[in-house]
Amino acid sequence: MRAFRLPRLRKRLWIAAAGAAVLQGSAVIGFGLGGPATVAVAVAVALLTLLLALLYDLKLTRPLAATSRGAEIIAKTNPGHQLELSQGHWLERLPETIENLGANVARTRHEMEEAATSWNVQIEARRARLETILREIREGVLVCDDNGRIVLYNRAARQLLEEEPALGLGRNINEVLDEGPLRHTLNLLSTDAELVCATRSGARLVRCRLAKLQTDDPDTSGFVMTLQDVSEETREALRREQALRRSVEAFRNPLTSLAAATHSLTLAQQENIKDAAQRFTAIINEESTRLADHFSQLSKETGAMMTDTWRLEDVHLGSLIDGIRERQKTGLPRIQASADVWISAEPYLISQVIEALLRRLHEELGVAALALMGREEGSMVYMDLTWSGDVAAAEQLDEWLNDGLEDVGGTVTLREILDRHGTTAWSQPDVSRFGRALLRLPLPGAPKKATLAPVIPARPEYYDFAIEEQTKQLDPRAEETLENLDYIVFDCETTGLEPSRGDEIVSIGAVRIHGGQVMHGETFELLANPGRDIPALATSIHGIRNEDIIDAPPVEEAVRRFHAFAGNAVLVGFNIAFDMRFLKLKQRISGVVFDHTTLDALLLSILLHDHTGEHTMESVAQRLGVGVGGRHTALGDSLTTAEIFVRLLELLPANGIQTLDNAVAAQEKMIEFRRQQRAF
């Protein structure tokens, strides 16, 4: 039999009651000096104490112990548990309240289970539809994660890649498809791309369309690939092109013969051959001209047909060379490159041509180092390779160009690739420097291709405004709690970062926060005419062009309208000092004064999250679970900052910041701390 254990609460009661009974009995005996009557009284007092303890045990401690056990059951196992209590307890409505809480938990749990079941049914139905769709898609479909591991493929992919034993969930795509062109494309993949590559076994050529998965969930990032077998199509296209090329070239000899015959007849005419010879000569001339016209047209159509199947892309030559150097650590000369130019080419194949030429220079001419320079000249880009040493002979270069590329089964030569790009390569001494050789490869330039995007400077942090505000009168709302205040969250887009040097506002956006809620229906958005041109760099950031602000009001009018929208609300921004400098410099001409109390979401984020140095708008938004939309537009940044600020308001009280005065004081401490950081 299990030993009896009294609950701790009841045990304490009975220990206290026993002690009280003994003390009271002893006290009575002491006062009565030990007579029989005194002993009887002492016993009676002790019994009365124990009877009172028994009453408390029955009515209070025992029900409390039962309630405690029942509450534990409700909390951990069975929310619908009914407390097991005797009638007449002194706990009043406490058991009923606990049972109601348990019933609410049970009801909520049941609703959640029903919702989960409903969602599971929907998910299973969607999964079944997805499986059906994938099964019926005729193209092969593969889904891979960021590391290239296959996480899904359909039946068509299995059939297409039946010769590839490595195809399977969790296997790397590089084990299934040729790694070279695939890796090259993945390194450049931003949204989607297309390439043709061989399977690892070499049994098939497949056209791959890749699309990057755009998602905020890191567990579902990666890329989707569709596959189409183009083995026969490619082989037939190559056979057709080669046959057509031979047919076109076959015109040359008959044309030469016709020209020679015409010349002979002309000579015969000079020796008084009959009139028939003249007519024959005219006929030959006419046919020769017509044949030449046909040849030119056929040659033109042939060239168009050959190049139409190629997908030419705008490629930065310097990046292409960097990719070659990164891909091939050995077997190539050391390259000193200066190639900040754009070309129009099939990136993978043209990189293979350049790599093959570099490898031949290294292996056959012993070139250990060379200079690579790309320069624009008209519609072409000349890529020059120069080195100290022997010049590559014409016959040697021809041999290199006639080599086939292994990555496409050796069926396409370097020369054919260059022909399709409308170019060729040649070698000669470098006339600009004695003892150096030159290999030149002209390539089609990318038309009107913009240069690489300049690095966008970050907004500077300004904290001087805090000094200006030290003499400002105390805000009458200083003791108001933060959640009860109204805020205007705003942002300015500008022509640059230096208002004191003439940069101006081009757009103001704002949104109101009331009662701790972002009021999406109460927004302000206005373009402003800065009275000067908007630099291209600024336009590349916020997208506002000169033609967009022709009819916009001047900056001072936009500032006045914003001041009216703001009223006397607390102004909030992200690095708000930057925007306030622009507004304050327009106070005199606008006839308004911005003496508002200001709060900076950036500084408050630094205060609350000093464990990290990531405090860009994007990183703060991600940390707080805020979506970022309309980045670098005044209203878009205002809405994002407002959502950030609302979440910061929820965190501030736990850090002792409950009132506006608390927030301003904490912000000023952060300003001083940042100033000292910069000083050191």
pLDDT band at 473, cuts 50/70/90? Answer: low
The answer to whether domain 137-229 and domain 313-444 are alike in fold is no
pLDDT at residue 70 in the model: 58
pLDDT at residue 599 in the model: 94
**Lowest-confidence range among 77-86, 246-255, 449-458, 599-608?**
449-458
pLDDT band at 469, cuts 50/70/90? Answer: very low
pLDDT at residue 589 in the model: 92
Cα 207-210-211 angle, rounded to 5 deg: 155
Gap between the Cα atoms of 185 and 179, Å rounded:
10
**354-413 pLDDT, tens digit each:** 999 999 999 999 999 899 999 888 888 999 999 998 899 989 999 999 887 765 545 678
Task: Assess whether pLDDT exceeds 60 at residue 109.
Answer: yes
pLDDT at residue 629 in the model: 74
| Nearest Cα residue to 660 out of 594, 598, 582 | 598
CB burial of 315-340 (b: ≥16 within 10 Å; e: otherwise) equals bbbbebbebbeeeeeeebbebebebe
pLDDT at residue 560 in the model: 92
Amino acid at 204: R
pLDDT band at 479, cuts 50/70/90? Answer: confident
pLDDT band at 22, cuts 50/70/90? Answer: low
pLDDT at residue 461 in the model: 47
**504-527 pLDDT, tens digit each:** 999 999 999 988 888 887 889 999
pLDDT at residue 555 in the model: 94
Gap between the Cα atoms of 52 and 50, Å rounded:
5
For the purposes of burial, counting CB atoms within 10 Å of the CB of 118, is it exposed (0-12), middle (13-18) or buried (19 or more)? Answer: exposed
pLDDT at residue 591 in the model: 92
| Nearest Cα residue to 417 out of 332, 322, 373, 352 | 352
Who wins on pLDDT, 265 or 542? 542
Q: Kindly state the tokens that stand for 478.
A: 């200083």
pLDDT band at 645, cuts 50/70/90? Answer: very high
SS3 (DSSP) at 561:
helix
Phi, psi of 369 (to 5 degrees): -150, 150
Gap between the Cα atoms of 121 and 113, Å rounded:
12
Element (H, E) at 72: helix 62-76
Cα 371-377-381 angle, rounded to 5 deg: 55
Gap between the Cα atoms of 192 and 211, Å rounded:
4
Phi, psi of 572 (to 5 degrees): -130, 140
Element (H, E) at 617: helix 617-624
pLDDT at residue 52 in the model: 77
Gap between the Cα atoms of 494 and 403, Å rounded:
56
Mean pLDDT over the full length of the chain: 77
E-only strand ranges, 515-600: 517-527, 570-573, 598-600
**619-643 pLDDT, tens digit each:** 888 877 787 777 778 998 999 999 9
Gap between the Cα atoms of 499 and 504, Å rounded:
6
Task: Assess whether pLDDT exceeds 90 at residue 605.
Answer: no
- CATH superfamily name and code, 137-229: PAS domain (3.30.450.20)
Domain-wise residue ranges, the chain: 1-132, 137-229, 234-308, 313-444, 468-679
pLDDT at residue 651 in the model: 84
Task: Assess whether pLDDT exceeds 70 at residue 304.
Answer: no
pLDDT band at 6, cuts 50/70/90? Answer: very low
Who wins on pLDDT, 201 or 250? 201
Amino acid at 613: G
Average pLDDT in the 26-32 region? 62
Instruction: Check if CATH label 3.40.50.2000 holds for domain 468-679.
Output: no
In this prediction the pTM is 0.38
| Side-chain-facing half-sphere of 521: CA atoms under 13 Å | 0
Task: Assess whether pLDDT exceeds 80 at residue 496.
Answer: yes
E-only strand ranges, 259-356: 313-316, 334-338, 342-345
Q: In this structure, are residues 596 and 568 in contact, taking their beta carbons and an 8 Å threshold?
A: yes
pLDDT at residue 183 in the model: 73
**190-242 pLDDT, tens digit each:** 667 777 778 877 778 888 888 887 766 666 678 888 888 877 776 666 666 66
pLDDT at residue 308 in the model: 47
The residue assigned the tokens 């790599």 is 355
DSSP 57: I
**Lowest-confidence range among 133-137, 405-409, 446-450, 462-466?**
462-466
**140-149 pLDDT, tens digit each:** 888 888 888 8
Task: Assess whether pLDDT exceeds 80 at residue 184.
Answer: no
Task: Assess whether pLDDT exceeds 90 at residue 439.
Answer: yes
Gap between the Cα atoms of 257 and 279, Å rounded:
18
- CA-based R_g, the chain, Å: 43
Task: Assess whether pLDDT exceeds 50 at residue 292.
Answer: yes
- CATH superfamily name and code, 313-444: Histidine kinase-like ATPase, C-terminal domain (3.30.565.10)
Contacts of 70 (CB under 8 A, 6+ apart): 81, 82, 83, 84, 95, 98
pLDDT at residue 562 in the model: 92
Task: Assess whether pLDDT exceeds 50 at residue 656.
Answer: yes
Gap between the Cα atoms of 475 and 480, Å rounded:
10
Task: Assess whether pLDDT exceeds 60 at residue 310.
Answer: no
**331-345 pLDDT, tens digit each:** 899 888 888 888 888
Gap between the Cα atoms of 663 and 679, Å rounded:
24
pLDDT band at 1, cuts 50/70/90? Answer: very low
pLDDT at residue 668 in the model: 85
pLDDT at residue 141 in the model: 87
